[in-house]
Structure 1
Amino acid sequence: MATMTDLDELALALPGTTKEVSEDGRPTYLAEGKMYAFHRSQRKDAVDAETGERLADVLMFRTPDLEVKELLLADDRDIYFTTPHFNGYPAVLVRIRDLERLDREELGDLLVDAWLTRVKKSVAKAWLAENGVSD
């Protein structure tokens, strides 16, 4: 069961990651100054289906490409979703409340995939080799 604490720990363990926090406490994780995951502000494109209210607990994670995005969206647990704002953009959304439906390893994989989209190829290659992951 993953938590926001896990999100913070896992993201900040990735080389070159920095964290910025908005005035209202929402984190953004950056690699080499480029955002790869963040807690979105309330937007009109993400609303609760039952109440119609804007969701305040939406996280965005970049994906390597649109194919990976579609694979995540096809997950039958309905953890991952998107909105029209992200049509054609390689990213998925996850509600904070649904983090508990992911285990820490799956959240880590999601963050690594997002992080890899933003770091230099040499950094990615070195990290993958050091961690025994084939690219």
Structure 2
Amino acid sequence: MPHVTVWERDDGTNRPVYQVGGKSFVFFRTARPDAFDPDTGERYDDVIMIWVESEEEKLALVSDESNPFFTTPHFDGHPSVLVRASELGGLSRQELTEIIQDAWLSRASNRRATTWLEEHRLG
């Protein structure tokens, strides 16, 4: 995607944040208490947060049991879904591409989004 910058943390965790115009659209999280294995209580250390366009899109993604997306109460009202990196194999390359493109579009400026959509004959 155009105009993407990658912000690398300086804490040695190698968990990048992908941004467009200074706005994050994909964020690799550190282990947090809100995402954990329900059987062991162990915090997931491979959670990726991906922005979505709307609450409706979020609900559609997390309610579809055929995909690996989830959310936690910490993200109630936030336009994003969570996915474990270890579960990305449950998505096709096309599905993952569309999710990332949609995340970028949800955060890019109107001008950038319109230009990209027109260039790809989607607008």
Structure 2: 5+ residue stretches without partners: none
- Is 1:18 aligned to 2:18, yes or no? no
- 4+ runs deviating over 2 angstroms: none
Q: Percent identity?
A: 41
| Equivalent residue runs for 1:27-38 within 5 Å | 27-38=16-27
Q: Which amino acid aligns with 1:18?
A: T
Deviation at 1:82, TM superposition (A): 0.2
* Count of aligned pairs: 121
Please give the per-residue CA displacement for 1:21-56, whole angstroms capped at 9, x wherever unaligned. Answer: 222111110001111111111111111112101110
CA RMSD of aligned residues (A): 1.0
CA distance in structure 1 between the partners assigned to 2:30 and 2:17 by the alignment? 11
Q: Which one scores higher on RCO, CA 8 angstroms, separation ≥ 6?
A: 1
| Equivalent residue runs for 1:43-58 within 5 Å | 43-58=32-47
Give the TM-score of the pair, scaled to structure 2.
Answer: 0.94
- Is 1:94 aligned to 2:97, yes or no? no
CA distance in structure 2 between the partners assigned to 1:41 and 1:66 by the alignment? 24
Give the TM-score of the pair, scaled to structure 1.
Answer: 0.86
